[in-house]
Amino acid sequence: MELSKYSFGVGDRFSHQGEAQLRAIIKANKSGVDVSPVWNKSNREHGIVKTTPNDVRTEADAAVKALGWNDRYFVDADHINLTTVAPFVEASDFFTLDVAAFIGNESSKEAIEAFLSSCEKYKGALQIPGISEPIQVDDELLIEIAVKFLAATEQAASIYQYLVEKKGKGNFITEVSMDEVDTPQTPVDLFFILKMLADRGVPAQTIAPKFTGRFNKGVDYVGDLGQFAKEFEEDVLVIAHAIKEFGLPADLKLSVHSGSDKFSIYPIMAEIIKKHDKGLHVKTAGTTWLEEVIGLALAGGEALEAAKEVYASALSRKDELCGPYADVIDIDDTLLPSAEEVNGWSGEKFANTLRHIPGHPDYNLNFRQLIHVGYKVAAEMGERYYSLLEKNADVVGSCVEENIYERHLKRLFNL
């Protein structure tokens, strides 16, 4: 199974916006880019919302049928491991093997020695085509890389072999994710990680490394844009070389887990993938959930009251809701409005405060991040929340479509 050159991961917490998301993809393709949708949802999100992987497959298939989509599309088992993968096997055809937790775990002395022996030809000045400065490789560097990443790649191999047994070789897309960690992987790390994966028979088609900077949920990138551009371009060049050097799949490409709305780095990525004629996979995750809340606020009446209720409850339960996301949010409590203040807002004021329009006088990234992690509140509303989505489907769907196309796809592919 081959992934298209460009693919775009659309998360949908509550499985109601498949058609709106697909409309945005169709609009982008009509504008001259060939991008495939990938519906993704993690085990954690399923647990909170009380859904199953089959719900994502049902949503994707229904959207494709309703809009007459005849091209490739995928359903991603997002951030799974050996303990969580089983429920995803039947419904998914794209698997994000999350092995970040295994980085730095102990490997056997024999495994490290075997890796060192296999890397003799790369010692000295390693030249990656397109990277001006050669990388100096010695035993000390190789041991450091082996200690960090051998166990993680061994875990990736275990998950991959499990999937081969259950689904058959070639019947799914394999992504390897190492992004949810504190320390970024360097381009030389990535080169040898790809070698480890190839050595273990993992035909990765996308790989998600950790880049320098903060990828906080729902808001823009925080970091040195010049450094990000350097890392991203060098990673693109490393992947191109690794495909030839290690016999990895020709469609192997970078995956950027954006946490949604990394608008400042989209033009950088667009320029680099165009310059080198390379593919790209991007995941946007919870951006659709936020647009649902925006749509409900704009709809007014009981829908606006529900949006305000989500915020008030999230504010009162902030520590509980932020806990699982502590590494990927930065909220300044002093800049969060009180529930009483928000209760007095119009739908337009609420939407403008939540909607990510850089430079808008009402936009509040702290408010946005809190609601981003507050989807558990909506999940607890149950049928009340779902009925509001259905009653206000037009305005909510319009917000979702506009956001994905106007703010993401247009920036990402320079449309």
How confident is the model over 167-207, as pLDDT tens digits? 999 999 999 999 888 899 999 999 999 999 999 999 999 99
Q: Return the percentage of the chain with pLDDT > 90, whole number.
A: 95
How confident is the model over 304-326, as pLDDT tens digits? 999 999 999 999 999 999 998 98
Tell how strand 135-137 and strand 6-11 pair up. Answer: unpaired
- With contact defined as beta carbons under 8 Å apart, do 218 and 374 qualify? no
Quick one: pLDDT at residue 178?
A: 94
Neighbours of 185 (CB within 10 A): 24
Q: What is the DSSP string of 148-195?
A: HHHHHHHHHHHHHHHHHHHH-TTSSEEEEE--SSSSPPPHHHHHHHHH
In angstroms, the CA 398 to CA 406 distance is 11
Residue 258, token pair as written in the block: 């954006």
Exposed/middle/buried for residue 160 (C-beta within 10 Å: 0-12, 13-18, 19+): buried
Residue with the two structure tokens 């998950």:
159
The average confidence (pLDDT) of the chain is 96
In angstroms, the CA 107 to CA 156 distance is 14
Show the low-confidence residues of the chain (pLDDT under 70).
Answer: none
Residue 218, token pair as written in the block: 């729902």
Quick one: pLDDT at residue 231?
A: 97
Residue with the two structure tokens 């995941």:
283
How confident is the model over 216-242, as pLDDT tens digits? 999 999 999 999 999 999 999 999 999
Quick one: pLDDT at residue 286?
A: 81
- With contact defined as beta carbons under 8 Å apart, do 80 and 45 qualify? no
Q: pTM value?
A: 0.95
Neighbours of 84 (CB within 10 A): 17
E strand or H helix that includes residue 253: strand 253-257
Q: What is the DSSP string of 310-331?
A: HHHHHHHTHHHHHGGGGGG---
DSSP 324: G
- With contact defined as beta carbons under 8 Å apart, do 40 and 286 qualify? no
